[in-house]
Amino acid sequence: MKKWFVSGVLLLLALIAQPTTAQGNGRSPLIIQPGDSWTALALRFQVAEAALHELNPHMNPLRPPAIGTEVVLPETAVEQSGVLLRPKGNLLATAVVHQVSPWSLAIRNNRSSPYRPTLYQPILVPAEDTVPRDLPPGFASLELSQGVGVPGQAVGFRGQLVEGGAVTAFLGDNEMDVFANGEFLVGLTGTGAFFGTQQPTLHIQVGDAPPWRQPWQFRDPTDWEYQQLTLTGAAAEIDQQSIAEERERLFAIWEQNSGPAQWQAPFQLPINSYLTISSTFGARRSYNGGPYRSYHEGVDFAAYGGTPVLAAATGTVVVAEFLYVRGGAVIIDHGLGIYSGYYHMSSIAVAPGDVVTTGQIVGEVGTTGLSTGNHLHWDLLVDAVWVDAQAWLDQGMDCWILAGLNQPCP
């Protein structure tokens, strides 16, 4: 709606007008990355944790600062490099691996002896060009798909392990899909388009090591579309039970963690020729004047009937049939719990079990199922959550994931 667009522009101008450095402080605030705990920041900038809390009174001292937020540092802070470790046992193994004297390591870290177990207490090992970060025990590196998360998008982490062990990860209450290729690791999930500006906790655990937790800032893009839909006659008498049954059946498929990645190249748009994008992902929907309680779970391409519909990427067809809501439907399993769907088609060109390649025709645009005109509804699920497929393409999540698993993506 126009009104929303105008207020979005005003808000953007207000944000741009804000000064980018903290008032009266020559040092720019630090944007928090994974592993920037209060302890890591204090070690890295050689200041007391209490001084950091004093400078950042709006932040909770009892939990790590949220990834994507800004922390003010003392003007006098001097940065030092090193590797921050939390060994379970004593310092001897750490000293051997990093080729330093156990005693100098103990003295540097204010410990009375290198022989006493550290019990996961932080140890700073000198190392040039390395930022000390409090990573999950067992991780050598950790990176997020977005500095600040965006509701409705596929989000994840990737990293390298130094020690093996089963890895579990949660974003808030939602368990993430975790995939490994040797020491390379990727965790994936999505959030709903109503997620808003929360700070869900990213929670990662390797084997029986203590769980690692850090909140992650999400921002709302504020430019969601708002749509008022009026259903009359037959459309208003939709069979709710058939809708629920179809949904339940499809979620049983989407929740399966389907083997390794089948794609080896970027995903593509599922249609070459269309009139307009008639509805974006996340568009808020009000039916017959009611509240905006639901949102659009895919992207709609208005197109002429008969326009070829193309596989967005290589994968295995797991659904190819006519459904009550989705009409002529094809769902492709791309591996790693990622599924794309193509709906309301007038005809279907593939069968369950077929392996299709990027750009292969899977059917033709139609207006079957609960549909009011020729269009393709395209959806994408990650970890059984609908995500914005357009953003997935724009961000290059497909290759970001493959690179995280040390696999090529030309």
Nearer to Zn ion, 300 or 333 (CB): 300
Is 376 in contact with 305 (CB distance < 8 Å)? no
| Token output for 281 | 């992902």
> 252-266 in b/e burial notation, b at 16+ Cβ within 10 A?
ebbeeebeebbbbbb
Element (H, E) at 253: helix 240-254
Stretch of residues binding Zn ion (CB under 5 A), selected from 191-199, 243-251, 376-384, 401-409: 376-384
Stretch of residues binding Zn ion (CB under 5 A), selected from 94-102, 252-260, 330-338, 371-379: 371-379
| Other Cβ atoms within 10 Å of 215 Cβ, number | 20
- Per DSSP bridges, beta strands 299-302 and 375-382 are antiparallel
d(C-alpha 21, C-alpha 27), whole Å: 7
Is 74 in contact with 101 (CB distance < 8 Å)? no
Is 81 in contact with 131 (CB distance < 8 Å)? yes
| Other Cβ atoms within 10 Å of 302 Cβ, number | 15
CB of 249 to Zn ion, least distance (A): 19
Nearer to Zn ion, 134 or 300 (CB): 300
Nearer to Zn ion, 212 or 342 (CB): 342
Letters for 20-59 (x = contact with Zn ion by CB under 5 A, - = none) are: ----------------------------------------
CB of 297 to Zn ion, least distance (A): 7
Is 335 in contact with 356 (CB distance < 8 Å)? no
| Number of residue whose CB is nearest Zn ion | 377
d(C-alpha 285, C-alpha 295), whole Å: 5
**What SS3 class is residue 201?**
strand
Question: Could you say which residues in the range 188-217 bind Zn ion, by CB under 5 A?
Answer: none
CB of 354 to Zn ion, least distance (A): 24
Nearer to Zn ion, 194 or 400 (CB): 194
Q: Which residue among 348, 377, 380, 390 contacts Zn ion (CB under 5 A)? A: 377
CB of 340 to Zn ion, least distance (A): 14
**What SS3 class is residue 40?**
helix
CB of 172 to Zn ion, least distance (A): 27
CB of 377 to Zn ion, least distance (A): 4
Stretch of residues binding Zn ion (CB under 5 A), selected from 46-54, 94-102, 238-246, 377-385: 377-385
Total site size for Zn ion, rule CB under 5 A: 2
Q: What long-range pairs does 179-182 form, CB within 8 A, spacing at least 24? A: 179/260, 179/336, 179/405, 180/405, 181/405, 181/406, 181/407, 182/406
Nearer to Zn ion, 214 or 280 (CB): 280
Instruction: For residue 294, count CB atoms less than 10 angstroms from its CB and return exposed for 0-12, middle for 13-18, buried for 19 or more.
Output: middle
d(C-alpha 140, C-alpha 337), whole Å: 25
Nearer to Zn ion, 59 or 387 (CB): 387
Nearer to Zn ion, 158 or 377 (CB): 377
| Token output for 320 | 């190819």
Nearer to Zn ion, 170 or 386 (CB): 386
β-pair partners for 181: 184
Task: Decide if residue 388 touches Zn ion (CB under 5 A).
Answer: no
Question: Could you say which residues in the range 274-333 bind Zn ion, by CB under 5 A?
Answer: 300
Question: Could you say which residues in the range 71-130 bind Zn ion, by CB under 5 A?
Answer: none
d(C-alpha 205, C-alpha 259), whole Å: 22
- For residue 301, give the nearest of 250, 225, 373 by alpha carbon: 373
Tokens 């006493």 locate to 116
Nearer to Zn ion, 111 or 375 (CB): 375
CB of 333 to Zn ion, least distance (A): 21
CB of 201 to Zn ion, least distance (A): 33
CB of 96 to Zn ion, least distance (A): 59
Nearer to Zn ion, 300 or 388 (CB): 300
CB of 295 to Zn ion, least distance (A): 11
Please give the residue ranges that form the binding site for Zn ion (CB under 5 A). 300, 377
